[in-house]
Each structure stands twice: as C-alpha cells, then as structure tokens.
Amino acid sequence: WFFNLISGKNYLLTSIWFALFAFLAHWKLFMLISQHFLKNKNSKFSLFFLFIPSIAFWCTGISKDVLVFIGLLSLTRHLLLWFVLKERSVKSVLWMLFYAWLLLKVREITFALLALSFVIMWLFTIVNSLKQKSLRRVLRFLIIIFSMGGMVASFSLLGLDSLLNPYLAEAEITN
C-alpha cells in the first residue's frame, strides 16, 4: 500500500521506486565496505561489487527478488555496523528488526543462511583474537568442520530439506 500511495498505483513508477531502494541498499553496503574494510582503494573489488548481475537483472520490476536483495544487503550492512564496527544505536536495531522481518516474510531460508554466516563470522572473530597461533588454527578448523557438519545434520535430521523443496520447485518452474 505504501508504494501505491507514493506512485498512484502506476506500475512503472512503483518499479522505479523498487529499483531505487535496491540501488540505495547496494550503494550503502558498498560505501561501508570501501570505507572501512578495503585497504587498497583502487582494487578491482569496486568494479566487481557494483557491477554484479544482481543489481542489473534480478532487481528490476516488482518481485520478491528485489525485496530479498534489499533486505539481504541492508541487514548485512547493519549487522556489520553493529558487530564489527561497534556502531550501535536504537535506530540500527529497529532497521535490523525491519529487514529481518522482511526477509522472514519473503524468504525465510535467506534469513537463516545470513544468520548462520554471521554466527560463523562472529566465531572466527573470537578465535582470531586469541594469542596462540596453534590454538587459532585448531579452532578455525573445528569451526569449519562443525559448520559443515551442522548444515548437513540440520538438513537431514531436522528435515530442513523440506524447507528448501518449495524454493527448488519454484526455481524449476521459473527456469
């Protein structure tokens, strides 16, 4: 209803709004990564990140993919701000909750995979802060083994493969 209000139920204008929000999410994450994580400002990362096919092809028009793309990029940005850069605010929490809700409503598997990847990243951050090099190596290896084992176990034992089946069927129909 929000897009109907600002675009007057015009499909073209609504598509432009969706494309604008997708671009802004992409741009904000790119700016965050380039300002805080890139040592070499002239790297090819900029070309790769800005010109990946997602922004050009999958995020045109009005579709679930646009909302997933916006939610994924924006939630990633806010999680990086919160956990890595330690920039914490109530506004950031509200945005994280909104984007998590958006991903859960549109594609819950995307949210689950993003959450899992950030948990693994957090574990690696803790391990990398250890002083002993040999202990760091062992713990990194264990994190990788348990992460892979946990994914296999969750798919087979908990029946999470049934969660993926509708998405795979949808992808079959689409292609």
The encoded tokens of residue 23 equal 């671009």
Rounded distance between C-alpha atoms, residue 33 and residue 21, angstroms: 18
pLDDT at 43 over 90: no
Each as own residue / partner, the long-range contacts of residues 164-172 (CB below 8 Å, 24 or more positions apart, any chain) are 164/109, 167/107, 167/109
Q: How many CB atoms sit inside 10 A of residue 70's CB?
A: 22
pLDDT at 10 over 70: yes
Q: How do residues 65-78 score in pLDDT, each as one tens digit?
A: 888 889 999 999 99
Supply the mean pLDDT for the chain: 82
- Judge contact between 34 and 18, C-beta under 8 A: no
pTM: 0.76
Rounded distance between C-alpha atoms, residue 91 and residue 88, angstroms: 8
Rounded distance between C-alpha atoms, residue 126 and residue 120, angstroms: 10
Residue count of the chain, please give it.
175
